[in-house]
Amino acid sequence: MNQFNQSITRNEASILASNKVLKNTYALLAMTLIFSGITAGVSMSMNLPHPGFIITLVGYIGLLFLTSKFRNSSMGLVCVFALTGFMGMTLGPMLNMYLNAYSNGHQLIMTSLGGTGVIFLGLSAYALSSKKDFSFMSGFLMVGIIVALLAGIGAAIFSIPALSLGVSAMFIMLMSGMILYQTSEIIHGGETNYIMATVSLYISLFNLFTSLLHILGVMGGDD
């Protein structure tokens, strides 16, 4: 009987801990998205050029490394805002490009933003309500992301529009899977650090938005 009571106590403590991580993750995610939007707006208003693939990659990997290193301290919060702010700065020139290249650029951006929000809310609600364990997707998502990244680099180097479009479609599927996986990890106690959970969800949303924007620009752009 005592063991049974101890088991119930441990389960309740685990649920409370998971709920705390989930609450902190969503709160931090909301703040980083707002901050990223502000830095994107600043970048757009200043008409800054895109830093290029190499600088973006180095900046992203470097800030991601620092965020991971300091994830258990207050410095981790500084790093996560630096990372998301930097990504927002790189997004600004891309948004300006769509506004300048397409007469319906505003519509494309808002549709992509709305689509990203609907997908995130829908998948998060499903993971939370069903409480299914999506940890089995880990290996598939990792391999898929590596393949998509290599394909994207190949499409950029060899200027293959069809491949680039296919990569964007792949990223939409993969990032949707990442949202399910990360939310499941938080619910089931696989992810106990809300800073890293926030980074994972932010990156998923960032790639989901840019991939949707690319596909809409190709399919529905009115230049």
Whole-number Å distance between alpha carbons of 34 and 31: 5
CB 112 within 8 A of CB 172: no
For residue 113 the two structure tokens come to 């933003």
Q: For 148-182, how does the pLDDT look when each residue is reduced to its tens digit (9 = 90+)?
A: 999 998 988 888 889 999 999 999 999 999 999 99
Q: For 15-73, how does the pLDDT look when each residue is reduced to its tens digit (9 = 90+)?
A: 777 889 999 999 999 999 999 999 999 999 999 999 988 899 899 999 999 999 999 99
Domain span at 145: 2-220
Given this model, what pLDDT does residue 20 score?
Answer: 92
Q: How many residues does the chain have?
A: 223
For residue 152 the two structure tokens come to 């994207």
CB 87 within 8 A of CB 207: no
CB 58 within 8 A of CB 67: no
Does position 9 have pLDDT exceeding 60, yes or no?
no
What total number of domains does the chain contain?
Answer: 1
Q: By percentage, how much of the chain surpasses pLDDT 90?
A: 81
Given this model, what pLDDT does residue 5 score?
Answer: 47
Q: Give the DSSP letter string of the chain.
A: -HHHHHHHHHHHHHHHHHHHHHHHHHHHHHHHHHHHHHHHHHHHHTTPPP--HHHHHHHHHHHHHHHHHTTTSHHHHHHHHHHHHHHHHHHHHHHHHHHHH-TTHHHHHHHHHHHHHHHHHHHHHHHHHH----GGGHHHHHHHHHHHHHHHHHHHHTT-HHHHHHHHHHHHHHHHHHHHHHHHHHHTTS---HHHHHHHHHHHHHHHHHHHHHHHHHHH---
Whole-number Å distance between alpha carbons of 156 and 154: 5
Q: For 122-147, how does the pLDDT look when each residue is reduced to its tens digit (9 = 90+)?
A: 999 999 999 999 999 999 999 999 99
Q: How confident is the model at residue 221 (pLDDT cuts 50, 70, 90)?
A: low
Given this model, what pLDDT does residue 14 score?
Answer: 67
Whole-number Å distance between alpha carbons of 197 and 114: 22
Does position 90 have pLDDT exceeding 90, yes or no?
yes
Model confidence, pTM: 0.92
Residue with tokens 């596909």: 215
Q: Chain-wide mean pLDDT for the chain? A: 91
